[in-house]
Amino acid sequence: MSPALEIKNLTHCYQPGTPMEVAAIKDANITIEKGEIVGIIGHTGSGKSTLISHFNGLLKPTKGTVLVDGTDIWSSKEALRNSRFKVGLCFQYPEYQLFEDTVFKDIAFGPKNMKLPSDEIKRRVLEASKLAGVKPEMLEKSPFDLSGGEKRRVAIAGIMAMEPEVLVFDEPSAGLDPKGRRDLNNLIKAYHKKTGSTVIIVSHSMEDIAKLVDRIIVVNKAAIAMDGTVSEVFSRSEELKSMGLNVPEITEVFARLKAMGYDVPLDVYTVEYGADRLRELLGKGVGK
Amino acid sequence: MIKDITFGQYYPGKSLLHRMDPRMKLVLTFFLIVVLFVSKNFFALCLVSLITLIASLLSSVPQKMMLKSIKPVLIILLFTAALNIFYTKGGATYLEWGKLVITEKGVNTAIFTIIRIVTLVVLSSLLTYTTTPTMLTDGLERLLSPLKILHIKVDTLAMMMTLALRFIPTLIEEIERIMNAQKARGADLETGNLIERAKALIPIFVPLMVSSFRRAYELAFAMTCRCYTGGDGRTRMKQMKLSLRDFICLFVCLAVLAGVILLNIKFGSIFEV
Amino acid sequence: MSEKLIELKNVSFFYEADEEDAPPIPALRDINLDIHKGEFVAVLGHNGCGKSTLAKLCNAIYEPTEGTVIVDGIISDSEENGDKIRRKVGMVFQNPDNQIVATIVEDDVAFGPENLGVEPSEIRRRVDEALKSVNMYDFREREPHKLSGGQKQRVAIAGVIAMQTDCIILDEPTAMLDPMGRIEVMNAIQKLNKELGITIVLVTHFMDEAVKADRVVVMDKGEIIADDTPRKVFSQIDFMRNHSLDVPQSTELCNLLNLGSDVLTIDECVSKLASVLGGAK
């Protein structure tokens, strides 16, 4: 079985051939298997936006290849077009892309572009609204009458309705309040579990990343700096900090304890796990 | 990328031209353009071009940038040159090929027009390269302030111009962002006939409008918060004062006009033989 | 506590509904709140709880439907008084792009003082000082659209400082920024409060930002449901969760371990854990 997404020796330069040539991403190699849930982190300007714009062919690599489900997306016009549907890209603040006069029509925009029959479009719209938590009574409303959080769900449903094999979220919870964040994280988790499709999350929020993904890819200075499990990556907190990134607060607490000489693990990234480890250490005396 | 257009953009510097009063710069640019069109022969024209070249060298704007600003008008240049070569007749015949006749006068007018247009572009680019958009609108506002007597709200118009300049790059970025978002949903912007393509723009146009209105609304709030109540009682941080250098430049330009008039009389016009 | 700067007395606010005959939509109900000179107050609450409306009432962008808002002795009941109030209370918004009016950084900072009719040489002095206080002086001749989000937001803050207001209200100033930008802006805010004594009202979604305030006001459904020090507010973990909010992970960890819930910061958490771990090195 071919991987869901494979990036081989990818290099992208802006303004190539001029003295102003800048490589936004250099010689990147990534393989993402089907069904994985992966996080991509990196500070603004690290090259991660350039990287994800290659996943569905919005940018053409200067060098290297992008394979979606084993097919080179730049091998033919057909392959490029298909990549848009196989890899769903949900940009930051996706609610700003809404344009139709009803929620239903807006969610149907993607499937319609896929030239699907109308009953299939309908099925997908209903299915996607359910996955994204868009209530049925909202479907006939104008998307512009909804609240901010609802708009975002509609926009996400619009991507889900294409039933992509890989779904990429760029800063999905930007600007949301804590509950909005929690709800959206749960939604993404449920989507991944239910559809079994590959999910990639780009985020600045290390807490969100820690809660959601199994594997983290770190982009720094236009290159892949780390690629490993969540605990592997977060245990290298000093390196992450030198890249202008932070670690979850809880990871930081453990890193400091370790630095003070306590024998605590460094791979802690959720509060519950951290509390458990500490309870072990403290014996039965503290905590229940 | 659309973001990289250089025409009409400011190039920071501390040259004589940068330090000139924007009002004087505006007036003199306009003045020199008029002189440029008054010039009737190569001697007069070259005088104006020469002074433009000197100004350009004094401006500390890299020559590469100047050349870049000519690029967008290249097609117009070639087109007018071709028109002149083939349609102006007179003097010695250089080439005759069926109906195609190239004469001395044709070639002369073509060269004349090219120099004239290039000088024109360099002159106006010099103005925008050495003057910040804010200074430019400020200068315009002050030059036009006598119009206030006619109840024309010059300061409001100037504010609108500044805001337009401020938001052009923001909106260009916004368009790129929306285009990418819709392309990611399979929107096809490149193929199809004219009607299909126009239709394909709706998913871009609607979000752009919605966001522009939202921006305008927020901007209005922000301006109210910063006590903007229109033009009355406003002061300006950057004062405009005419200094010696402005008057020297004025004098130089007047001298150029005098020179052009003299040269026009002495050598006549190349347009009438 | 020192003098009151902003005083809200029994304030309610209703938005006009879009459709005719529909009843107005309530946004705030019977709010009583005093903000004192030199305070740093954080306002927390989920989206739509009324905290942005509250912010806009404090600098007379809105006038209350019921009750009174008094800023430094001036009641916000007329357009004229509104102008006076806005000279004392400045505001920074969420989207940095939509509040910068000029094409050069220093010109933008000068916009406020210019509107106030300040002398040109005095504007120059204020602009330079304001830009220095947010560490943006070196960028004074840049174009705002080429700056990062955090830098733009600091320019917006400088624009308010240059007006020499007594108070700055910031309505989710870091919501659209990356972690670096958030740190830059928070550092600038804290510095203004500590060094220049400017009163700060910070509306935010981020608990780690609210922790840095002197006082936290929590809102829900148009009402103030808590108003206390961050330590007291965040120790009520279940209360916060029930109102769609969160607490810092350090607080949560110590609470899970029954080490008390008055721990706020990483430093406090680490020293608390070290004390119970004792010699278990």
- Using CB atoms, which chains have 3+ pairs under 8 A with A? B, C
**CB atoms B170 and C97 under 8 Å:** yes
Which of B225, B234, B236, B241 should be substituted to probe chain C, the one whose Cβ sees the most C Cβ atoms within 10 Å?
B225
Model confidence pLDDT, tens digit, residues B27-50: 999 999 999 999 989 999 999 999
Mean pLDDT of chain C: 91
pLDDT above 70 (res A57): yes
* Structural domains in chain B (count): 1
Which residue carries 């830098």 as its tokens?
Answer: C151
How confident is the model over C175-194, as a mean pLDDT? 92
The alpha helices in chain B, defined as continuous H runs, are: 16-19, 22-38, 42-58, 63-70, 74-87, 104-130, 133-144, 154-184, 194-200, 202-225, 244-267
**CB atoms B237 and C106 under 8 Å:** yes
Query: Which strand (E) or helix (H) includes residue C180?
Result: helix C179-195
Searching chain C, which residue's CA lies closest to the CA of residue B237?
C120
ipTM of the complex: 0.89
pLDDT above 50 (res A87): yes
> Is residue B59 assigned to a domain?
yes
Which of C93, C97, C100, C161 should be substituted to probe chain B, the one whose Cβ sees the most B Cβ atoms within 10 Å?
C97
pLDDT above 80 (res A144): yes
The interface residues of chain C toward chain A in range 259-278, judged by CB-CB distance below 8 A, are 259, 266, 269-270, 273-274, 276-277
Sign of torsion, CA A14 A20 A26 A27? positive
pLDDT of residue C279: 61
Q: How many CB atoms lie within 10 A of CB A114?
A: 18
* Structural domains in chain C (count): 1
Full domain range(s) for residue B77: 2-267
Model confidence pLDDT, tens digit, residues C194-217: 999 999 999 998 998 999 999 999
**CB atoms A253 and C270 under 8 Å:** yes
Check if the beta carbon of residue A273 is closer than 8 Å to that of residue A238: no
> Is residue C247 assigned to a domain?
no
pLDDT of residue B2: 45
- How many helices and strands, by DSSP H and E, does chain A display? 11, 10
Searching chain B, which residue's CA lies closest to the CA of residue A82?
B186
Q: Where are the domains of chain A?
A: 248-288
> Is residue B35 assigned to a domain?
yes
pLDDT above 70 (res A286): no
Q: Which residue has the higher pLDDT, B231 or C12?
A: C12
- Min Cα distance B138 → chain A (Å) is 33
End-to-end distance of chain C based on CA atoms, in angstroms?
45
Spatial distance between the Cα atoms of B41 and B37, rounded to a whole number of angstroms: 10
- Using CB atoms, which chains have 3+ pairs under 8 A with B? A, C
Spatial distance between the Cα atoms of C23 and C4, rounded to a whole number of angstroms: 35
- The two beta strands, C74-75 and C89-92, are unpaired
pLDDT of residue C159: 96
What is the DSSP-derived secondary structure letter of residue B15?
A: S
> Is residue B148 assigned to a domain?
yes
> Is residue C10 assigned to a domain?
yes
SS3 A198: strand
Which residue carries 């195609």 as its tokens?
Answer: B100
Q: Which residues of chain B fall below pLDDT 70?
A: 1-8, 272-273
> Is residue B272 assigned to a domain?
no
- pTM reported for the whole predicted model: 0.85
Spatial distance between the Cα atoms of C63 and C67, rounded to a whole number of angstroms: 10
Model confidence pLDDT, tens digit, residues C240-250: 988 888 899 99
Which of B71, B185, B201 should be substituted to probe chain A, the one whose Cβ sees the most A Cβ atoms within 10 Å?
B185
Check if the beta carbon of residue A14 is closer than 8 Å to that of residue A21: yes
- Min Cα distance B94 → chain A (Å) is 41
Model confidence pLDDT, tens digit, residues C34-67: 999 999 999 999 888 899 999 999 989 999 999 9
Q: How many CB atoms lie within 10 A of CB C158?
A: 30
Searching chain C, which residue's CA lies closest to the CA of residue B172?
C145
pLDDT above 60 (res A240): yes
Which residues of C lie inside 8 Å of B (Cβ-Cβ)? 56, 59, 61, 83, 86-87, 90-91, 93, 95, 97-104, 106-107, 110-120, 123-124, 127, 141, 143-145, 159-160, 163
- Among the partner-chain residues B133, B237, B238, the one whose CB lies closest to the CB of C103 is B133
**CB atoms C180 and A288 under 8 Å:** no
CATH number at residue C147: 3.40.50.300
- Interface check for B16 against chain A (CB to CB < 8 A): the answer is no
Full domain range(s) for residue C186: 4-229
- Interface check for B220 against chain C (CB to CB < 8 A): the answer is no
Spatial distance between the Cα atoms of A208 and A213, rounded to a whole number of angstroms: 9
> Is residue C175 assigned to a domain?
yes
Give residues with Cβ within 8 angstroms of C129, minimum separation 6. C161, C162
Query: Which strand (E) or helix (H) includes residue C274?
Result: helix C266-277
